[in-house]
Every structure is written in C-alpha cells, then in structure tokens.
Amino acid sequence: MIMDRENLIPIQDFCSIYKVPETFIASLYEYELIEITTTENTQCVSVTQIKNIEKLIRFHFEMDINLEGIHAISNLLDKVETLQDEIKKLHNKIDFYERE
C-alpha cells in the first residue's frame, strides 16, 4: 500500500512527543496492535492510528496493563465494535421492513 509521506509520523518523533520508549511501539507492532510503515529507511506510523496508539499508551502506562492484557482487551473491543455494527445493520433492516 502506497501511503502519502505527510500522513506518516516517524516513530522516533512520535515517541519523543508522547514520551514513550520506541521499544513500546515495536512491541505493539509485534502484538499486531498497530501497523508500521517503513519509508526511506525510517519506521513510521500513520496519523490515522494516533487515536488507537494513544488508547494503548493509556492502557499500559496509566492503567499498568501488560501487553498481553492490552492484546486481549483490543481483541474484545474489536469484537464489540463488530457486533455493534451488526446490530445497527439488523435494526436498519427491521426498520425498512416495518415501514412497508
């Protein structure tokens, strides 16, 4: 996937701004919680991931949840979101048929 460079933040800069170690970001990548893009030999994260990474930082550094716990929580939150989307679709179908 080709990504516009202006939508990428070098990991080193991100970690400096958020005051987190680069190893933490690497661990998130290893647990498949975030995507890392390498461009011109620089590892970067997409700006679209910032909100998610901020949430993961809070889980780890403010709530003291280890990476295994963060991985489990993230998977559960993804499933909840999927189920909420499915419920919304079903409600829309019901509304459609009730109007007829």
- Asked whether 49 and 34 are in contact (CB, 8 A), the reply is yes
| Cα separation of the two ends of the chain | 44
* pLDDT interval class at 1 (50, 70, 90): very low
User: How far apart (Å, rounded) are the C-alpha atoms in residues 36 and 8?
Assistant: 10
pLDDT digits (tens, 9 = 90+) for 55-86: 999 999 999 999 999 999 999 999 999 999 99
pLDDT band at 100 (very low <50, low <70, confident <90, very high): confident
Q: Are 23 and 43 in contact (CB under 8 A)?
A: no
Lookup: tokens for 59: 């889980």
Q: What is the pLDDT of residue 99?
A: 84
Question: What letter represents residue 92's amino acid?
Answer: N
Helix/strand/coil percent split, the chain, to 5: 70, 10, 20
Instruction: Kindly report the pTM of this predicted structure.
Output: 0.80
Query: How far is C-alpha 74 from the geometric centre of its chain's CA atoms?
Result: 8
pLDDT at 93 over 90: yes
Q: Which domains does the chain have, with CATH numbers?
A: 5-99 (1.10.1660.10)
